[in-house]
């Protein structure tokens, strides 16, 4: 009897669905990702990925592609709906958060 192909259907093409699909593909699964929304396009929004997120992407073999598609932030923080800064975290030229003394 031959080896049976492992197949997975993932419902939802968001971050978790695509990451799950990538992980299963790396393990040799045949994967289909279903998404009800139309084609993925730019919508004027972005996501920030922290060090632990990049570590997870490295496990999936996606860290280099992610770094190439994005850019390092010089400052991070939170704004209210009017654009007023509620909190800011400046970055040093090395990309690390400066330490308080």
28 or 2: which leads in pLDDT? 28
Residues 17-34, buried b or exposed e (16+ Cβ, 10 A)?
Answer: bbbbbbbbeeeeeebebe
Question: Measured between alpha carbons, how far is 10 from 17 in angstroms, rounded to an integer?
Answer: 6
Q: Any idea of the CA torsion for 64, 66, 69, 75, to the nearest 10 degrees?
A: -110
Q: What is the mean pLDDT of the chain?
A: 84
Q: For position 101, what pLDDT does the model report?
A: 36
Question: Measured between alpha carbons, how far is 77 from 86 in angstroms, rounded to an integer?
Answer: 7
Domain ranges of the chain: 7-72
| Structural contact between residues 89 and 76, judged by C-beta atoms closer than 8 angstroms | yes
Q: For position 79, what pLDDT does the model report?
A: 87
Q: How confident is the model at residue 51 (pLDDT cuts 50, 70, 90)?
A: confident
């Amino acid at each position: 009897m031959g080896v049976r192909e492992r197949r997975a259907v993932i419902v939802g093409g968001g971050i978790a669905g695509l990451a799950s699909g990538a992980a299963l593909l790396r393990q040799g699964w045949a994967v289909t990702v279903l998404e009800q929304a139309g084609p993925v396009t730019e919508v004027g929004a972005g996501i920030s990925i922290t060090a632990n997120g990049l570590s997870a992407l490295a496990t999936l073999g996606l860290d280099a592609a992610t770094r190439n598609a994005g850019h390092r932030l010089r400052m991070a923080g939170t704004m209210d709906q009017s654009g007023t800064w509620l909190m800011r975290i400046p970055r040093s030229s090395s990309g690390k958060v400066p330490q308080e003394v």
